[in-house]
Amino acid sequence: IFCVCHSLGSVILKQALYIAAYHQPHHYLWVLEAIAGIIFISAPHADSNRVKTLQSFTRILKAVSIQATTIPEKELLIFLKRFEDLNLHIPILSTYETRETIIDKRFLRSTKEILVDASTCSTRARAETIVGLNLDHIQSCHFEQATGAGPEVIQKFLRETLGNGNELFPSTSEITTFNPIAMSLWASTVDIHSLDGGAIDIHSPDSGAIDRNSMDMNVGGYLQDPLVMKPGDIDFSRPALHLPCFILDRYAPNPKLCGRDSVLELMKEELLPSKTRAKSLYNANLKIFALCGVGGIGKTEVARQFASANKESFDAVFWVTADSIPQIDRSFHDISIKLGLEYPSQQHDPVVSRGLVKGWLSSNWRRIPADDENALEPSWLMVFDNADYLDLLIDYWPESNGSLLITSRDPLAKTFWSGKKCGIDLGPLSYHEGASLLIELAEIDDTANDAEENVLELAVRISHILSGIPLAISQIAGFIRDQNLCLHEFLDLYKDSAAREELFDMDCSVSSTLSYPHTIASVWGIERLRAEERGLLEFIAFLDPDGIKDDFLKELFPTYPGYLKSRTGLLRESLISRDMGSDGIRVLQLVQDTVRAKLDMHTLIYTVEKAVEILKKTWPHTISTSPMPPVNIPLGANLKCAALSSHVHKLQQLWSPSWEISKATRVQFAGLLVDVAW
């Protein structure tokens, strides 16, 4: 391995070397042993004077950054000290620039300075060569453009170092390390005695020099005495794995899950490992399946059921809560510990845990020494649950070799990773499936007669108004059971808009949904939407839920791109749906009911008046040169009239005499009712 880094890119390399030597030597010491040489091109290192060190980093950031950047002074000096303590016996070539670089661009006058000079570029390593390049800091990485001895020295260093790599291998690292406490690279608990005085004035030339002897680490109250360790002193083989390893969701599968048998069978076909998979170092057969849909539709329930029922088909199953970076990091650390990639005594570093887990997922192994050559590779399933923000998964995505199940509100999850459709949009339960679930959860005797209709018919009606959404059915069933209501009593109560709003805010979950933290009102996160997205959803709430045309909705926005942006926001939350290539959208009736229930009277009146205005504006009329008023096209003669008439009927069903609608709007709406022959 040969490392080349320019400017502040050296920080990345130093961090990697430190983690390899101090944090994970049993995994990565072999990497250090394989490094034949390092070239630092205009890279700043620790100077004997700490003020000069900080000034050097500050000037470089000022020259290369568009925005002002603040340096964490104490952490930087700790970091530089740790790199020096590695005491690597690796051939190093460090270059500095001899031309000034512009660091303060102004209209009439610019400030120029040499950012990395001969003293700043030195690592003080035992096998270091230092050479100057007659280039500025920005251009120094193009060292082939330099004149003089610099390029020749670099070429000679490369030839000799790479040519002697095998000879250098046994003696490349006499590593100075610390007793077994592993320290995070950016740990704020680490103290340096010489930095106790607070912030350093990097503009003062009289500030003191760094006392390198006083910069010993103090971790947990114990000074760590350095130990010199030879390569053979450390057993850096991979530890034995803990297989099988099952890390499932903390909640048990829902025993009352219904209506998802076909989905679970499809998931088996797509995700279960092949029984004839061959052992190989790389197998690009990454199986992906995404369950997409609106919140409360049952994505997590289905994923939980699949993982639990099929865990014996895998050597490892991992459940990852993927709604935020800290949650994912905690899950990966837990996986790393329980799988045996890290020791529990080691300090948690999310970068290390992520790298170890991703490495095993992409080229998994059972143990060291290796298994029998004819043995199958271990199979694994990883569930990314609640991955509504797909970009969060980029740094955690394994390259190959297993099965991935994603639950997400964003329908793009089906194509985000592979370009082809891998998954389904999980739809609501059928009205009869929802009715059966309601009867079971509410503990109703379906053989008894209700006041007017039989229980099943009433349950189907309730399932219909709840749009077959499992969360809503579960919560309403809990309310009916707790309040000891008959089904027809609930239907009467639901007609009252004030009571309906209160129902949506109640948490009446039955035991099977206690793992879900949302109510009907909170599950869709309407408050988190942008103002334009929320306005569009509120407008849609007063229209016929099926087949709302884009040409009609875009009238709400000053520009068509503005409408598309808001529509995309609602689509990514699965609050609305749209078939590819269609010219309209759909929305669940329960989503409409919930949105309307949360409106204050001012917003409700504004939205209704806007809907009437746009309906009247877009209603088709014949084009006539006659001075007489335009004549409406007969309803059956124009498909646009038919499409708009469903919205007029929906608005008429919702209309309430208590709404203080303006007289002009009432007249317009009366005209619309005449147009649709109401």
Task: Summarize pLDDT for 483-493 with one digit per residue, the tens.
Answer: 888 888 888 88
Lowest mean pLDDT among 15-29, 86-100, 561-575: 15-29
Question: For residue 149, what are its two tokens?
Answer: 């001895």
- Model confidence at 82, pLDDT cuts 50, 70, 90, reads confident
Lowest mean pLDDT among 282-291, 452-461, 601-610, 623-632: 623-632
Q: Highest mean pLDDT: which of 24-28, 144-148, 176-180, 245-249?
A: 245-249
pTM above 0.85, yes or no: no
Are the beta carbons of 152 and 159 closer than 8 angstroms?
Answer: no
So what's the pLDDT on residue 105?
57
So what's the pLDDT on residue 612?
92
So what's the pLDDT on residue 385?
93
Residue predicted with more confidence, 449 or 343: 343
Q: Can you tell me the mean pLDDT for 505-528?
A: 64
- Model confidence at 190, pLDDT cuts 50, 70, 90, reads very low
Spans of all domains in the chain? 2-233, 245-275+283-425, 431-513, 526-675
- According to DSSP, the β-strands at 423-425 and 111-113 are unpaired
So what's the pLDDT on residue 552?
87
* Contacts by 372-378, CB closer than 8 A, 24 or more apart: 373/279, 374/279, 375/279, 376/277, 376/278, 376/279, 377/277, 377/279, 377/280, 377/283, 377/401, 378/241, 378/243, 378/315, 378/316
Q: Can you tell me the mean pLDDT for 251-269?
A: 89
Are the beta carbons of 310 and 266 closer than 8 angstroms?
Answer: no
- Report the first-to-last Cα separation within the chain, whole angstroms: 80
Whether pLDDT at 414 is above 80: yes
So what's the pLDDT on residue 167?
56
Q: Highest mean pLDDT: which of 209-223, 264-278, 318-332?
A: 318-332
3-state secondary structure at position 368? coil
Q: Can you tell me the mean pLDDT for 589-606?
A: 89
Q: Can you tell me the mean pLDDT for 119-142?
A: 83
What percentage of the chain reaches a pLDDT higher than 90?
16
So what's the pLDDT on residue 169?
47
Are the beta carbons of 125 and 116 closer than 8 angstroms?
Answer: no
Q: How far apart are CA 589 and CA 469, in angstroms?
A: 10
Longest dimension (CA), the chain: 102
- Model confidence at 515, pLDDT cuts 50, 70, 90, reads low
Can you list the alpha helix ranges (DSSP code H) found in 310-368?
325-339, 350-362
So what's the pLDDT on residue 381?
93
Class of domain 526-675: mainly alpha
Residue predicted with more confidence, 357 or 283: 357
Q: Can you tell me the mean pLDDT for 77-86?
A: 74
Lowest mean pLDDT among 43-52, 53-62, 153-162, 195-204: 195-204
Residue predicted with more confidence, 451 or 484: 484
- According to DSSP, the β-strands at 287-292 and 423-425 are parallel
Question: For residue 359, what are its two tokens?
Answer: 């490495």
So what's the pLDDT on residue 406?
94
Lowest mean pLDDT among 154-163, 220-229, 442-451: 220-229
Residue predicted with more confidence, 294 or 641: 294
Nearby residues of 444 by Cβ (< 8 Å), 6 or more positions away: 438, 455, 459, 480, 487
Q: Does domain 245-275+283-425 have CATH number 3.90.1150.10?
A: no
Whether pLDDT at 340 is above 60: yes
So what's the pLDDT on residue 10?
86
- Model confidence at 135, pLDDT cuts 50, 70, 90, reads confident
- Model confidence at 221, pLDDT cuts 50, 70, 90, reads very low
Q: Can you tell me the mean pLDDT for 120-132?
A: 83
- Model confidence at 70, pLDDT cuts 50, 70, 90, reads low
Are the beta carbons of 670 and 617 closer than 8 angstroms?
Answer: no
Strands in 245-247's sheet, in edge-to-edge order, are 245-247, 316-321, 380-385, 403-408, 287-292, 423-425
So what's the pLDDT on residue 365?
60
- Model confidence at 222, pLDDT cuts 50, 70, 90, reads very low
- According to DSSP, the β-strands at 584-585 and 548-549 are antiparallel
So what's the pLDDT on residue 65?
67
User: Across all residues in the chain, what is the average pLDDT?
Assistant: 76
What is the DSSP code string of 53-110?
A: HHHHHHHHHHHH-SS-----HHHHHHHHHHHHHT-B---EEEEEE-S-EEEE--SS--
So what's the pLDDT on residue 475?
85
**Residue with token string 């030195």:** 122
Q: Can you tell me the mean pLDDT for 69-94?
A: 75
So what's the pLDDT on residue 513?
47
Are the beta carbons of 556 and 614 closer than 8 angstroms?
Answer: yes
